[in-house]
Amino acid sequence: MTTTAQPGSRMVPSTKVKQRPGDRVFGTLTVVSGGLILAVLAAVAVFLFVQSLPAFVAPAADFKGGFSSFWSYVWPLAFGTIWAAFLAMLIAVPLAIGIALFISHYAPRRLAQGLGYIIDLLAAVPSVVFGLWGITVLAPLVQPFYTTLVEWFGWIPLFAGPVSGTGRTILTVAIVLAVMVLPIITAICREVFLQTPVLHEEAALALGATRWEMIQMAVLPFGRAGIISASMLGLGRALGETMAVAMVLSPSPQIIFHLLTSENPTTIAANIALNFPEAHGTGVNILLATGLILFLITLAVNMLARFIINRRKAFSGAN
């Protein structure tokens, strides 16, 4: 650091600091890496948009299932994608938060370490294995349970029959997706909960709070932004999952809210995986156009999550 002198004033330290070559190289690499990510994302968006243009004006004869236009073709697929992901998150998020709290604040150290390793290893299992597990183990296991649900709660539209004889329903797919996204959400929530300031926890306990009350007052508010971020990452995988959905689900190109019947709405990713090998001509453009819709859905979900997190941070800072 150098100093500069002005007439009639005292010595003022200069704020200009000379950067070392390594700092300049590292700074340049980070800027290039960040720009490369944006460039790749923009290139993917432009490619999907250009390739999708013929699908928007394609005649009705090019769409399978007797659809009259691209939008009537894609709406059931978009609904199935969002519906399956929503059901999966409805199952996975509370379970992941409970597991993360148990590992971080309840379990003994050795048990917590073992559970943490198991959760991390579960994230490395290929989606094909989950699909095979869903077909051979989960679907036959839950089929009798589905029959009971229809008998008891059939008056509720979601559980209306007739029940699927194979167990391969949208609810089974949601359970498989929930198991797949569970490691991601649990691992992030666990690390966030472990970062809770110890003084906050000790202060709550010193005021007479029970352990659960301490978690409600100190841990969960501190980790709210992390929970949202973890949930959005899990939702991103659930929205884009292909093989497990394609293997387990018995698809039907309709908007169906029933959870236990043999007719189920399929997802965009599964539809692309099943139809792309035999697609040709405008059929390829139609599938790429559905991929563009999935890209936009995922982008909208991530932007919404970022908006919620930034808003909560700003609100916390204001308080």
Considering its fold, how many domains does the chain have in total?
1
CATH number at residue 186: 1.10.3720.10
CA contacts within 13 A on the Cβ side of 122: 19
Task: Look up the domain containing 112 and give its range.
Answer: 29-314
Of 6, 73, 29, 53, nearest to 265 (Cα)? 73
5 lies in a domain? no
Residue 248 lies in a domain: yes
* Residue 102 in domain: yes
Per-residue pLDDT for the chain (319 aa), expressed as one digit of tens each? Answer: 455 555 555 555 555 667 777 778 888 888 888 889 889 988 988 998 888 888 888 777 777 767 778 888 888 888 888 898 999 999 999 999 999 999 988 888 888 888 888 888 888 888 888 888 888 888 889 888 888 888 888 888 888 878 888 888 888 999 999 999 999 899 889 988 988 888 888 888 888 888 888 888 888 888 888 888 888 888 888 888 877 888 888 777 777 778 888 788 888 888 888 888 887 888 888 888 888 998 888 888 888 877 777 776 655 555 5
Please report, in angstroms and rounded to a whole number, the separation of the first and last CA atoms in the chain. Answer: 38
- Write the burial class of residue 108 (CB in 10 Å: 0-12 exposed, 13-18 middle, 19+ buried): exposed
Confirm whether 39 is domain-assigned: yes
Q: Do 55 and 285 contact (CB within 8 A), yes or no?
A: yes
The whole model's pTM is what?
A: 0.82
9 within some domain: no
